[in-house]
Amino acid sequence: MEIASETAKTLLEVLREDLGLTGTKHGCELGECGTCAVLMDGKPVLSCLVLGVEAEGADVATIEGMMQGGQPHPLQRAFADLGAAQCGYCIPGILLVAKALLDSNPHPGRDEIREMLSGNLCRCTGYTKILDAVEMAAKGRGDL
């Protein structure tokens, strides 16, 4: 996809304002909370700290692209089934960071999941059901 945008705009602003992809949220716009995380070439980045122009030529994955062929990603299914999304505002960022983890390490331990998600703040869940959901998706079964 090609888009013309002001050079001073962050990737977050390009996604939300120029492309209308409002699934990516923001909590501070200073790189402190992890809410605006997206994947750039498979790696998590804070879209509020990346300029749109820096994403030129990169593969940018947002929450809108996480469903494939109309089917939710196993992480999305696990988060929904376990009640890991309360207000849900931090969830797009967390899902993408969790996806990056599982893509590189399909069977992480709970501490590895904690470590990977430690840059994403969530005020509702106490992280418990989020960690459970990532574990469940990693196990690939729905009976956890």
The verdict on 119 binding another protein (CB under 8 A) reads yes
Among 43, 123, 140, 144, binds another protein (CB under 8 A): 123
Report the 10 Å Cβ neighbour count for 28: 13
Contacts of another protein in 43-102 (CB under 8 A): 62-64, 66-67, 72, 76, 79-83, 85-92, 95
Nearest to another protein of 63, 100 (CB atom): 63
Q: Residues 114, 95, 91, 1: is their CA dihedral positive or negative?
A: positive
Determine the number of helices (DSSP H) and then strands (DSSP E) in the chain: 5, 3
Nearest to another protein of 57, 143 (CB atom): 143
Side-chain-facing half-sphere of 117: CA atoms under 13 Å: 29
Mark residues 93-112: x for contact with another protein by CB under 8 A, - for none.
Answer: --x-----------------
